[in-house]
Amino acid sequence: MDHKKIKRSLKFRISFVTGIIFFLALLLTYIVLYTAFHTSAKYVANRTAEGISNQVFSSMYQVMRKGWNRSDVMEFLRAMEVSYSDTPLDVNIFRGEKVKALFGSIPEPEKSDEVVEAFKTKKKIFIEKDKVYKAVFPILARKECLKCHTNAKGGEVLGVIETRIDLSPIYDKLNKVLFLSLIFLLPLNGLLSFWASKHIIEVVKSFAKNLENNINRIRNLEDLKKISREMDVPYEELKHLYQSLYKLSEKVRQIAIDKDILELESRLLEKFIITSQLVNDWKEYIKALVNDINEVVNVDVVFSIFIENSFLDTEVFWLKEPTEDQKKVFEQSLEKEIISRLPISVVGNRTLVINHNVVRKNERFNNVSPDRFKIRTKTLLLDKPQLGGIVGIGIESELAEDPYKRAVLDSVLATLVNVIGSAKAISSYVNEIEFYAMRDPLTFLYNQRTFWELLNYELERANRFERSLSLLLLDLDNFKVINDTYGHAVGDRVLREVARIISEKKRKADVAARYGGDEFAVIVIGANSNQALNLARRLKDAIESLSIPVSESETVSPRVSIGIASYPEHALTSRDLFIIADSMLRKAKEEGRSKIRVPTIEDLQMSRVELTKKSMLVLDALNKRLIKPFFQPIVELKSGELFANEVLMRIGKENIPASEFIEAAENLGVIVRMDLILYEETLKKLVEEQYDKYVFMNLSSRALTSEDFLKNILRIVENSGFDPAKIVFELTERESVKNIDLVKRFLEELKEVGIKFAIDDFGSGYSSFHYLKKIPVDFVKIEGEFVKGALTDWRDKTFIESIVTLAKGMHIRTVAEFIENEEIKEIMKEIGVDYGQGYYFGKPSPKPWV
């Protein structure tokens, strides 16, 4: 028997374990005896040393009372030395300085640390070191001592008696005796271990033999019935084991299936892996899935029927190119076997639409009878999004008749219905998200976020092709009165009607957006200020001619003010263009409302002066490092506990917020330098405050193009001593999409040191979720406008639900911005958003929230 077999032997294991137990018992006995002796010896030695010290002192005291001279002292010391010469005792007497001054020194060894300490503390000392016990006894001056020791005071230490007892020889002898006893008992240990293992092994062998006889009778699943329920088992433990084996055989007999069938199911299920391809094109994903399934089992066709508005949308996925006859027969089978059996409430007036898709277009079904396909189906119903459908497969008749394979295919079909259902649900979510990411849910005009994307895009085109572009900003003068007087329903009707007028009056190439509550924007492509003014007049006349009924006898008519700015006549950048148009809108209102305002030379000069003031403010803050971090809390919605702080930049002694100076900073090209100072000051403050939560810091898109920016970030983080795993950099969705490859490379290097990444204002770009699979996102911060809107608009709420569902599936955590009251917080919590941020939890503060 080799070494490994011996280790696996039960006999060896039992012998080994019992031997170890016996040996440990002996060892424990040795330790107990040794410890008991040591404790007793220590106690006796301490008492003996103390007693001898007292005895020596008493003897000295009696002699001193009679009066003694130096020869008497020396005689006393010699007598004491002779008395203890053949014992483990050693007694030393040490004179104090005052005694030496009167009576001179006597022979004494070098003072030990304990003797010195006794002179100082006047206390008795007992110690043990290397089996030597020592008692140090200070001799204190009594009243009667002062007659002779005239230079001493009562209670002073006149001398010290040191008593040492060396027990090491006794310990050595004890160790020797105990060790020899242990060696003597070891053979007995081996004999007992062998006897115990032999007895147990005989019992186990007998049980194993009987069990082996039962198992040898098994040839197939039916033979499992032949295993006896009862068997002669001598011990309860083995009897319990046998009963468990019997139960196992019963369960195996009930659940066992053919090995080939099991392998078939396993290989099929390996194909059902949901990937990011679902987000892009669910039909292509299903085509690839059908191809994969046919590597394991022949499935000629897969189909799905889903309710889509007024249609029963049917997608048929053929493995090979079918003939027209095969398509026709299959469609008839669907009508007969499935559609006709659906409830009337489902079918209703919905039109059946069938789309055929082919996986292998270069292959055909040759000489195949259309009726050879047998259809098997499963049904799916989802509440969110509301989705109902049927998924089925067409398989060969022979395969459908095999009960085992049919059971496996039914199991596979159950998985397939979930996969296709997930594909449809995700596709539905993505389409919905993409629409609401770009559109205002009330008017269906472009929203503010998309407006900025399109304004920048059109401005670049205008610059490239050297043509004009104008911007109109419209504001309804009396909307608040209408809304407050007649309610939100009437207010919404007014906004929809104004949006309709704008859509009808603008040219097809122009871009219309709802910018805010009652504000609209129109980008007039290729138009100078005069052309834009003409359009503004038409819009104003049409809007103010509206007469919207609010009751049988009452109507309302909106009034509108319009501000205009043109490129390149008034401004060269999108921000400047918007600022000037907005300034003109405010002046139109100040001049009496229901006006149209185009900038004059004086207006432009005032705008430039204002921008220059802000530029000087930024440069002063940069030069004097008057750039400070303010902190706003981010809270976990479930627990209410603080999760993180977001850092917001403030400049100057007045703590001016970023919205007041960001445009000037970007125009000056110093935003990157300001960011680096902010990071440095932030981490410095967090370390000083011993802050250990997450910190979110904003990242400028311009920083990504700076060669040294990444190097500087890593340097600042390393020098600060703050944990990089607690740092989250956030970038707005518009900026990250525009620089997706740059962002990816940048983040990969930050990830190496543990820094995390968040997308800010998520939903603000119209490229939707394309880049989520491209870059390593840890957090998604949902655009605040959607969060605020979720309270009153089901579309905003649905949009957030879609984001949360997708984020959870991709293991990305979500943060809702602009939470301003308890009601919004509860809605976000109910939807499943992870964290919240907004004035409800706390306003920006110069100190981090803890």
- Asked if 238 and 265 sit in the same domain, the reply is no
Residue 606 inside a domain? The answer is no
Residue 566 inside a domain? The answer is yes
pLDDT in tens, 467-476: 999 999 999 9
DSSP 3-state assignment of 101?
Answer: helix
Q: How would you classify the pairing of strands 596-597 and 835-837? A: unpaired
Residue 518 inside a domain? The answer is yes
DSSP 3-state assignment of 678?
Answer: helix
pLDDT of residue 475: 93
Element (H, E) at 364: strand 351-364
| Burial of 605 per CB tally in 10 Å (0-12, 13-18, 19+) | exposed
- Asked if 762 and 645 sit in the same domain, the reply is yes
Answer with the residue of higher pLDDT: 22 or 828: 828
pLDDT in tens, 535-574: 999 999 999 999 998 888 888 999 999 999 999 988 888 8
Residue 16 inside a domain? The answer is yes
pLDDT of residue 292: 77
Tell me which of 67-71, 122-126, 167-171, 509-513 is least confident: 67-71
State the Cα–Cα distance between residues 596 and 464, nearest whole angstrom. Answer: 29
pLDDT in tens, 638-653: 999 999 999 999 988 8
- Asked if 104 and 242 sit in the same domain, the reply is no
Residue 242's pLDDT band, with cuts at 50, 70 and 90, is low
**What average pLDDT does this structure show over 249-276?**
58
DSSP string of 607-642? HHHHHHHHHHHHHHHHHTT-EEEEEEEEEETTT--E
pLDDT in tens, 12-66: 666 677 767 777 777 787 787 777 777 777 777 777 777 777 777 777 766 666 6
Give the amino acid at 668: L
- Asked if 401 and 323 sit in the same domain, the reply is yes
- Asked if 579 and 625 sit in the same domain, the reply is no
Tell me which of 255-259, 521-525, 776-780, 833-837 is least confident: 255-259
pLDDT of residue 736: 47
- Asked if 226 and 298 sit in the same domain, the reply is no
pLDDT of residue 602: 79
Boundary-marking domain end, from 173, 194, 212: 173
| Burial of 733 per CB tally in 10 Å (0-12, 13-18, 19+) | buried
State the Cα–Cα distance between residues 849 and 845, nearest whole angstrom. Answer: 8
CATH number of the domain within which 761 lies? 3.20.20.450
Tell me which of 4-18, 27-41, 195-209, 833-847 is least confident: 4-18
Highest mean pLDDT among 29-33, 199-203, 402-406, 622-626: 622-626
Tell me which of 99-103, 358-362, 836-840 is least confident: 99-103
- Asked if 31 and 140 sit in the same domain, the reply is yes
706 DSSP 8-state letter: -
Question: Alpha-carbon torsion 676, 677, 680, 683, what sign?
Answer: negative
Answer with the residue of higher pLDDT: 25 or 372: 25
- Asked if 235 and 306 sit in the same domain, the reply is no
CATH number of the domain within which 303 lies? 3.30.450
pLDDT in tens, 87-141: 777 788 887 877 777 777 777 888 888 888 888 888 888 887 777 778 888 888 8
Q: Decide if 436 contacts 789 (C-beta within 8 A).
A: no
Answer with the residue of higher pLDDT: 339 or 680: 680
Question: Alpha-carbon torsion 293, 297, 298, 300, what sign?
Answer: negative
In the chain, % of residues over pLDDT 70: 75
pLDDT in tens, 429-468: 666 777 777 888 889 899 888 898 899 999 999 999 989 9
Asked whether the predicted pLDDT for residue 207 surpasses 80, the reply is no
Residue 2 inside a domain? The answer is no
pLDDT in tens, 145-169: 777 777 878 788 878 888 888 777 7
Give the pTM: 0.44
- Asked if 674 and 710 sit in the same domain, the reply is yes
State the Cα–Cα distance between residues 739 and 744, nearest whole angstrom. Answer: 9
Residue 760 inside a domain? The answer is yes
Work out the mean pLDDT of the chain and round it to a whole number. 79
| Count of domains observed in the chain | 5
Residue 68's pLDDT band, with cuts at 50, 70 and 90, is low
Q: Can you give the residue range of the structural domain that contains 240?
A: 222-249
pLDDT of residue 66: 63
The number of residues making up the chain comes to 850
E strands of 510-580, at which residues?
511-514, 519-525, 548-549, 555-556, 560-567
- Asked if 753 and 720 sit in the same domain, the reply is yes
